[in-house]
């Protein structure tokens, strides 16, 4: 544990309690010059939040530039916990209004549909990004129609499709 990181955390002004709790937990495990490797589930258990709330908070902290984040992989095992770094070189203030604005900015526009990548890949919709059309099986009349825009989205496991649902 780095006492300097905890002193840095104490100087920060974060009006959102969830963001503050996640940042404090990261500060507790910070060692100067070394990345952190806590799992989102582990953070959630220690601060009594859902893993989804931790994921959302980490996205916001990254958006504000307070943490750096890099995915890690183990050979033969796949994805493991991300490597985090704290930006302890500067102090900051995060207001509730800034958090609301960032959440709005990260949300997709209403005319955009997020389609599961597995569904898109199964239908070969991402290999050819023109003329996307998918009818759900199992008797559902729900149809995705439009054009696949991007498989690299802020929503892991989803592709962005313009055109919406019919």
pLDDT tens, residue by residue, 11-46: 999 999 999 999 999 998 887 777 788 889 999 999
CATH placement of domain 3-106? 1.10.10.10
The Cα 5–Cα 27 span in angstroms is: 5
The Cα 157–Cα 118 span in angstroms is: 8
User: How confident is the model over 71-75, as a mean pLDDT?
Assistant: 87
Going by pLDDT thresholds of 50, 70 and 90, the confidence category of residue 143 is very low
Name the segment(s) of the chain with CATH classification 1.10.10.10.
Answer: 3-106
Amino acid 81: pLDDT: 84
pTM (predicted TM-score): 0.64
The fraction of the chain above a pLDDT of 70, given in percent, is 64
């Amino acid at each position: 544990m780095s006492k300097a990181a905890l002193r840095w955390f104490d100087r920060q002004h974060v009006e959102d309690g969830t963001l503050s709790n996640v940042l404090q937990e990261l500060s507790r495990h910070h060692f100067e010059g070394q990345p952190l490797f806590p799992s989102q589930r582990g953070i959630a258990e220690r601060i009594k939040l859902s893993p989804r709330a931790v994921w959302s908070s980490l996205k916001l902290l990254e958006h504000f530039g307070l943490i750096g984040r890099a995915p890690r992989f183990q050979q033969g095992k796949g994805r493991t916990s991300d490597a985090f770094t704290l930006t302890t070189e500067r102090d900051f203030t995060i207001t509730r209004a800034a958090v609301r604005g960032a959440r709005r900015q990260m949300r997709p526009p209403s005319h955009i549909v997020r389609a599961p990548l597995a569904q898109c890949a199964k239908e070969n919709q991402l290999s050819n990004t023109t003329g996307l059309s998918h009818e759900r099986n199992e008797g559902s009349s729900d149809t995705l129609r439009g054009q696949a825009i991007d498989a690299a989205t802020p929503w892991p496991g989803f592709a962005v499709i313009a055109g919406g649902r019919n």
